[in-house]
Chains A and B, each alone.
Chain A
Amino acid sequence: MSVIVLLLIASISVAALFLAAFIWSVKKGQFDDEYAPPLRMLFDDKPADDTNTSL
């Protein structure tokens, strides 16, 4: 039945990874702003154009 112990360790470590990912994402501020990020990915970046960088 030692296989169950192995499975337990595996499942808890996977869950712990998710917990770590959650804490990391909160710390990085991924939940701070719910409006901007979903829109940001929709903005198309124009191909680099030399005239755009001079002012």
Chain B
Amino acid sequence: MQPTITTTTTQCYHCGEDCITETICLNDKNFCCQGCKMVYQLLNRQGMCAYYNLNEKPGINQRVTVRKDKFAFLDDADIVQKLVHFQNELQTHVIFYLPQMHCSSCLWLLEHLHQLESGIISSKVNFARKEVTVIFNHQQVTLRRVAELLTAIGYEPYISLQDMQGKKPGVNKSMIYQLGVAGFCFANIMLMSFPEYLGLETAEKNLQGVFRTLNFILSLPVLLYSAQPFYTAACKGLQHRFLNIDAPIALAIVMTFVRSAYEVISGTGAGYFDSMTGIVFFMLVGRLLQDKTYLQLSFERDYTAYFPVAVTVLKDNKETPTALPDIKHGDTLLIHNEELIPADGIITKGKAFIDYSFVTGESLPVRKEMGEIVYAGGKQTAGTVELLVIKEVAQSYLTRLWSCNEFKKEDKPDSDSFVHALSRYFTYIVFLLAIIGAAYWWFADPSKSWHVVTTVLIVACPCALLLSNTFTNGNILRILGRKHLYLRNATTIETIAGVNHIVFDKTGTLTSTSQQDVEYNGVTLTALQLKQLAAVAQQSNHPLSKALVRFIGKSKLTVTNFKEWHGQGLTGWVNNDKLLLGNALFAGVPHTGATCVHVVINNEYKGFFAVTNHYRQYLPALLKQLSITYPLSVISGDNETEAARLRNLTGNKAILMFHQSPEDKLQYIQQLQQHGRRVMMIGDGLNDAGALKQSDAGIALTEHTNNFTPSSDGIVDADSLQHLPRFIKLCRINKQIVLASFIVSIIYNIIGLYFALQGVLSPLVAAVLMPTSSLTILLLTFGSSNLAARWLKL
């Protein structure tokens, strides 16, 4: 297959990207790289081209090749043992997380793995979790081979240290069962209560007993099983000497049941079983809506999800893949290009060029020479280095930081939610009314006073408040999720509404990691020379080269004798011109301080491209809008070369801080909180993890939701950060909606109380009031939160 050069842009048949450097043709189809072509050939050979028919260009770009021995650690029996889910003599079941999965073609291909490899028995995709369960015969094929096959077709499994620890949080389904049971009982009780409402003829009075007994039996599962979440929440609150909203609800449920059971057994009435089961059902629906979780996201990630499972250890000149926890002080590690440094160590061989942006916030890779100490968490970006471990993984700078006490904060209790305070007042008033009612009837008609007390307590259940709260929260979470702000839970909505100071991280949050601003200084270059430079830069994956290509534009010229000098620069020949791109030292000019790419053409120095951080496009507008209402701070782990530009963006009042270590950031947030500030922190990297956790509302920003994000209260897509002021507004409206619907529900309660205090609350009145009030609240909360979202254009 000869690489041919074409003049028009063609798109790769496999991945759909532009063919830049070369276009490879096969069967009248164009490919951008050998990798894409190989995947096509593999699928074509197996008659699996349906992959390409389901979606246009479904593939994943193969230009960056995966190291050959990357999955060598999967030959280690101990590691395999910990990764597989089930194993017998014939079969092994393993679940892989494949972040690249994105369309129905992926689904089709991943479920037809058995056609590619006969040792694979079957494979099943869970698209929501982006996981594939592979069942294979381990006598015919190894786990390593399966992982390599997946990698070969473009779906490299993401295996992290977390997988080794085997803690996969399962989804708690018990509330769904409870809801199902409540719905079943509620509907049947409703059905059997109708004859009672409509009135039975005297001849059919014997049936009344049957209906009532059945209602009594059907309400038992609701009381004993479905209503459990309310009892446990109430008990938990009382243990902490705190009267939450669940306590009066649990009381009302039990009270209604006791009262109804008494009526049925004594034959005095039909009871309120329908109201009781109905309210439990609706409240469970609300809770479930509010607890909707985002399966593909994780808010609880720690360093184990970021670290690899195994690294290569050099022992007696032999490379052995070793599980990360087994690495000891004094081991020599071999770190390949693009690999993570898992433990603190000293470089013993090679030159390191380490990207710490995720750990410390420094935006450009740091150069480390032999003998220097490197900290765990950075990513090697230039060639292979050898590393002598001086601290074990669990003792490393980064992991220690993670296990320090400030980082281990317990879940913020939701006890400060205004809903609980509201329900408390509500409960006190109701108790007062019950006592007054009982006292009155004690004198007027003593036989009625027990009747009145119980009905008052039934009617006065703050379930309407709970309903309005859960339904509004659930709907707002859904609206925010649609705009790519994913909150960990409903209490975060209220926290965000109460925020009065916003802190931003700089690198990766205010600036974009995938874009840089480039400016050229020096002798004017001709269009041809620019094209030539782009052609050379295209050959490299270094962030600066990529930035340069984006600045100049893609070029179709062919480069010969290309060489990448790791950590220094690039050289290559285009049309008999010798081109050199690189740092000051490499180009032979004095160092300038700022980040530059120097240009030398045919041994003649031309000038340099200054590369600076690219602030997100919407940032000026966003910061301007926010600074009207909120004090802003920017804390950065980077140096202050950008101070002037940042000041320009944030305005005069904002606090700018540079050279901040992860601990500094955390302490800064603590200081703000001690001054009574409620802080929202927006950050992206591990260096912000402590600050995110310490802040009242920590929002992790990510370019892609598949990426690793530190544990936080919410995850926001980088493009959606521009909506932040409106997000906050919506969270504030949330409280108003809950209050408004609460007032409406109080009107219903007053109607109910009017009947109850007179001692004439019939089951029919209760049965009409309960669903109408629930439905009104449902409509009101959904309607007004959707209206608010539309008004805010969210």
Which residues of A are at the interface with B, using a C-beta cutoff of 8 A?
A: 1, 4-5, 8, 11-12, 15-16, 18-19, 22-23, 26-27, 32-36, 39-40, 43-44, 46, 49, 51-55
CB-based contact A26/B173 at 8 Å: yes
Asked if B77 CB lies within 8 Å of chain A CBs, one says: no
Query: Given known contacts A5-B207, A52-B115, what 9 new A-B pairs fall within 8 Å (CB)?
Result: A15-B187, A19-B181, A27-B173, A33-B127, A36-B107, A36-B126, A43-B50, A49-B47, A55-B117
**Complex alpha-carbon distance, A33 and B204, angstroms:** 50
The 10 residue pairs across chains A and B that have the minimum distance between CB atoms: A35-B127, A19-B184, A36-B127, A33-B128, A39-B104, A33-B126, A22-B180, A52-B115, A53-B118, A33-B127
CB-based contact A4/B207 at 8 Å: yes
The closest CB in chain B to the CB of A49 belongs to: B47
- Complex interface: chain A residues within 8 A of B122 (CB): none
- Complex interface: chain B residues within 8 A of A53 (CB): 115, 118
User: In chain B, residues 658-702, which have Cβ atoms closer than 8 Å to a Cβ of chain A?
Assistant: none
Q: List 20 A-B contacts (CB under 8 A).
A: A1-B204, A8-B192, A11-B191, A15-B187, A15-B188, A16-B184, A18-B184, A23-B180, A33-B127, A35-B107, A35-B127, A35-B128, A36-B107, A36-B125, A39-B107, A39-B108, A40-B111, A46-B50, A52-B46, A52-B47
CB-based contact A26/B177 at 8 Å: yes
Convert B114-136 into 0s and 1s, putting 1 for each residue whose CB lies closer than 8 angstroms to a CB of A: 01111000000111110000000
CB-based contact B207/A1 at 8 Å: yes
- Complex interface: chain B residues within 8 A of A12 (CB): 188, 214
Give, as a whole number of angstroms, the nearest-CB distance from A43 to chain B: 5
**Size class of B's contact patch?**
20 to 34
CB-based contact B181/A34 at 8 Å: no
**Complex alpha-carbon distance, A16 and B111, angstroms:** 36
Convert B212-224 into 0s and 1s, putting 1 for each residue whose CB lies closer than 8 angstroms to a CB of A: 0010000000000
Convert B152-192 into 0s and 1s, putting 1 for each residue whose CB lies closer than 8 angstroms to a CB of A: 00000000000000000001010011001100100110011
- Complex interface: chain B residues within 8 A of A44 (CB): 50
- Complex interface: chain A residues within 8 A of B204 (CB): 1
- Complex interface: chain B residues within 8 A of A51 (CB): 47
CB-based contact A5/B118 at 8 Å: no
**Complex alpha-carbon distance, A28 and B176, angstroms:** 13
CB-based contact B210/A8 at 8 Å: yes
Asked if B206 CB lies within 8 Å of chain A CBs, one says: yes
The closest CB in chain A to the CB of B181 belongs to: A19
**Complex alpha-carbon distance, A4 and B129, angstroms:** 49
- Complex interface: chain A residues within 8 A of B107 (CB): 35-36, 39-40
User: In chain B, residues 410-455, which have Cβ atoms closer than 8 Å to a Cβ of chain A?
Assistant: none
Convert B188-201 into 0s and 1s, putting 1 for each residue whose CB lies closer than 8 angstroms to a CB of A: 10011000000000
**Complex alpha-carbon distance, A18 and B127, angstroms:** 27
Convert B492-520 into 0s and 1s, putting 1 for each residue whose CB lies closer than 8 angstroms to a CB of A: 00000000000000000000000000000
CB-based contact A55/B46 at 8 Å: yes
- Complex interface: chain A residues within 8 A of B129 (CB): 32-33
- Complex interface: chain A residues within 8 A of B184 (CB): 15-16, 18-19
The closest CB in chain A to the CB of B46 belongs to: A52
Give, as a whole number of angstroms, the nearest-CB distance from A36 to chain B: 4
Q: Are A43 and B111 CB-contacts (below 8 A) given A35-B128, A55-B117?
A: yes
Give, as a whole number of angstroms, the nearest-CB distance from B228 to chain A: 16
- Complex interface: chain A residues within 8 A of B176 (CB): 26
- Complex interface: chain B residues within 8 A of A23 (CB): 177, 180
Interface of B is mostly: helix
Which residues of B are at the interface with A, using a C-beta cutoff of 8 A?
A: 46-47, 50, 104, 107-108, 111, 115-118, 125-129, 171, 173, 176-177, 180-181, 184, 187-188, 191-192, 204, 206-207, 210, 214, 295
**Complex alpha-carbon distance, A51 and B47, angstroms:** 9
- Complex interface: chain B residues within 8 A of A46 (CB): 47, 50
**Complex alpha-carbon distance, A55 and B111, angstroms:** 17
Give, as a whole number of angstroms, the nearest-CB distance from A2 to chain B: 10
**Complex alpha-carbon distance, A5 and B210, angstroms:** 8
**Complex alpha-carbon distance, A12 and B177, angstroms:** 18
Give, as a whole number of angstroms, the nearest-CB distance from A8 to chain B: 7
**Complex alpha-carbon distance, A9 and B181, angstroms:** 17
CB-based contact A8/B47 at 8 Å: no
Q: Are A1 and B128 CB-contacts (below 8 A) given A26-B180, A27-B173?
A: no
Give, as a whole number of angstroms, the nearest-CB distance from A9 to chain B: 9
The closest CB in chain B to the CB of A19 belongs to: B184
CB-based contact A32/B171 at 8 Å: yes
Give, as a whole number of angstroms, the nearest-CB distance from B80 to chain A: 22
- Complex interface: chain A residues within 8 A of B207 (CB): 1, 4-5
**Complex alpha-carbon distance, A8 and B209, angstroms:** 13
**Complex alpha-carbon distance, A51 and B125, angstroms:** 25
- Complex interface: chain A residues within 8 A of B104 (CB): 39
CB-based contact B206/A55 at 8 Å: no
The closest CB in chain A to the CB of B108 belongs to: A43
Contact of B116 among A8, A43, A55 (CB under 8 A): A55
**Complex alpha-carbon distance, A15 and B192, angstroms:** 13
Tell me which of A15, A27, A52 has the highest count of chain B C-beta atoms within 10 A of its own C-beta: A52
- Complex interface: chain B residues within 8 A of A43 (CB): 50, 108, 111
Give, as a whole number of angstroms, the nearest-CB distance from A33 to chain B: 5
The closest CB in chain A to the CB of B48 belongs to: A52
- Complex interface: chain A residues within 8 A of B188 (CB): 11-12, 15
- Complex interface: chain A residues within 8 A of B210 (CB): 5, 8
Q: Are A54 and B118 CB-contacts (below 8 A) given A4-B207, A23-B177, A26-B180?
A: yes
CB-based contact B126/A32 at 8 Å: yes
Give, as a whole number of angstroms, the nearest-CB distance from A42 to chain B: 8
Give, as a whole number of angstroms, the nearest-CB distance from B794 to chain A: 23
**Complex alpha-carbon distance, A49 and B125, angstroms:** 24
- Complex interface: chain A residues within 8 A of B116 (CB): 55
Contact of A34 among B47, B118, B128, B187 (CB under 8 A): B128
The closest CB in chain A to the CB of B176 belongs to: A26
**Complex alpha-carbon distance, A51 and B184, angstroms:** 53
The closest CB in chain B to the CB of A29 belongs to: B126
Give, as a whole number of angstroms, the nearest-CB distance from A7 to chain B: 11
- Complex interface: chain A residues within 8 A of B171 (CB): 32
Give, as a whole number of angstroms, the nearest-CB distance from B274 to chain A: 15
The closest CB in chain A to the CB of B295 belongs to: A32
**Complex alpha-carbon distance, A4 and B209, angstroms:** 13
**Complex alpha-carbon distance, A32 and B225, angstroms:** 23
**Complex alpha-carbon distance, A51 and B46, angstroms:** 7
Give, as a whole number of angstroms, the nearest-CB distance from B572 to chain A: 39
**Complex alpha-carbon distance, A19 and B181, angstroms:** 7
- Complex interface: chain B residues within 8 A of A33 (CB): 125-129
**Complex alpha-carbon distance, A26 and B180, angstroms:** 10
Give, as a whole number of angstroms, the nearest-CB distance from A22 to chain B: 5
Give, as a whole number of angstroms, the nearest-CB distance from B74 to chain A: 19
The closest CB in chain B to the CB of A42 belongs to: B104
**Complex alpha-carbon distance, A4 and B206, angstroms:** 12
